Amino acid sequence: MTSYDQPSSSNEEIFAENNNASTSLHSRCVATLKSPNSYTSSLVLAGKFLFTGSSDKEIRMWKRHQNPTDDDDDVVVAGKGAVKSLVVSADKIFSAHQDNKIRVWKINNNQNSGTQNLAHLATLPILSDRAIKYLRPKNHVQIRRHKTSTWVHHVDAVSALALSRDESLLYSVSWDRTLKIWSTADFKCIQSIENAHDDAINALAASRDGQVYTGSADKKIKVWGKPHGDDEKKHSLVATLEKHNSGINALAVDMNGSVLYSGSCDGSVLVWEKDCGGRAVAALRGHEKAVLCLGVVADLVCSGSADKTIRIWRQRCYSCVAVLAGHDGPVKCLTAASDCHNEGDQTSSYLLYSGGLDGDTKVWEIFVLPRK
């Protein structure tokens, strides 16, 4: 049974201020979703709802307010193992699963009750795609010494998903070392880049300019793209970014698509700027263990770590302005969104959602205040 509890201890309320910055930041945990039998492995926001994917194959929908009742949520169960990633496109949700599949869900709105529920639309690769590719030997690729599969299949856990800016393309990466591109219109796989990395691919991010970033246990970030205005061309390798000393677990791109953030097993977050030729211009250090997830909202960068903390960093000055402590296990996933903005006093407010291996999903309020 999943419950939604208010924080009971003061150690979940944090005030952090950076004396070198032009603003101060207040933050506090306002609520906790508890899942005693599993942990939240993925998160995504869609309008007034929060969708969570669990380590036990559940996708759960919650209303985004502080005191929902047990009747506020809707649950679907699919596949085997963890729901590794969730993305939203209009009235659809795409979910990546540990059973090597991608599933598509329709968000149905009930106008009378004001509620929503999820209905299964498809499982990728779809049957027609599999059948057509299976009949032609040239569509088969060798995945192990004595085993082949068609190139539309992921053959290991699908670790991350991302959407193109116009949401016409879905990108997926897997521990099978492939990057696949899908059409969101008909759910067909239109390209598969085999051996995109030398080891499992753990992270994925898509930029507004059409470039796609993949991060791997091989310590490399690869940049993929195709010529502008040429929809017929396939994605190909644009660049390889090498600076990390350990495997990469998380990637995030800022709203302008000009800055890439990458988190790795050594606890560091590297900052890559396009204006500087795609070089790493800063290393954000402070986490004591691996960085497992990243998120960007406005000019803040949030990093969740195996050290059980979330750090909030200022963009451009790249300083840590808050450390959120409250999880009793590694922070596996997070997402953030603007809450409101008061033009009168220039106070910005954000909501941050974090999922930990302790079985808790926490809701944090973050207030950025101008210094006097």
- What are the structural domains, with CATH classification, of the chain? 1-34+250-372 (2.130.10.10), 77-242 (2.130.10.10)
Please report how many Cα atoms fall inside a 13 Å half-sphere around the Cα of residue 195, on the Cβ side: 5
Residue showing tokens 């539309």: 152
Average pLDDT, rounded, for the chain = 86
Whether the pLDDT of residue 2 is over 70: the answer is no
Strand order in the sheet with 49-54: 40-46, 49-54, 58-63, 74-77
pTM of the model: 0.89
- Cβ–Cβ under 8 Å, residues 155 and 176: yes
d(CA 71, CA 76): 14
Interval 279-327: pLDDT, tens: 899 999 999 999 999 999 999 999 999 999 999 999 888 889 999 999 9
Nearest Cα to Cα of residue 32 among 62, 57, 77: 62
Cα angle for residues 350, 352, 355 (degrees, 5° grid) = 175
| 78 Cα distance to chain centroid | 19
Question: Residue 116 is encoded by which pair of tokens?
Answer: 């929503």
Question: Residue 56 is encoded by which pair of tokens?
Answer: 């036990």
Kindly give the residue spans of alpha helices, DSSP state H, lying in the chain.
127-134
Residue showing tokens 């939240």: 40
Q: What is the pLDDT of residue 111?
A: 63
**Rounded to a whole number, what is the largest CA-CA distance in the chain?**
70
- Cβ–Cβ under 8 Å, residues 130 and 150: yes
DSSP at 168? -
3-state secondary structure of 357: coil
Q: What is the pLDDT of residue 229?
A: 59
The average pLDDT across 6-31 equals 54
Instruction: Please state which of the ranges 49-53, 120-124, 127-131, 150-154 shows the lowest mean pLDDT.
Output: 127-131
The average pLDDT across 63-74 equals 60
Question: Residue 124 is encoded by which pair of tokens?
Answer: 């990728």
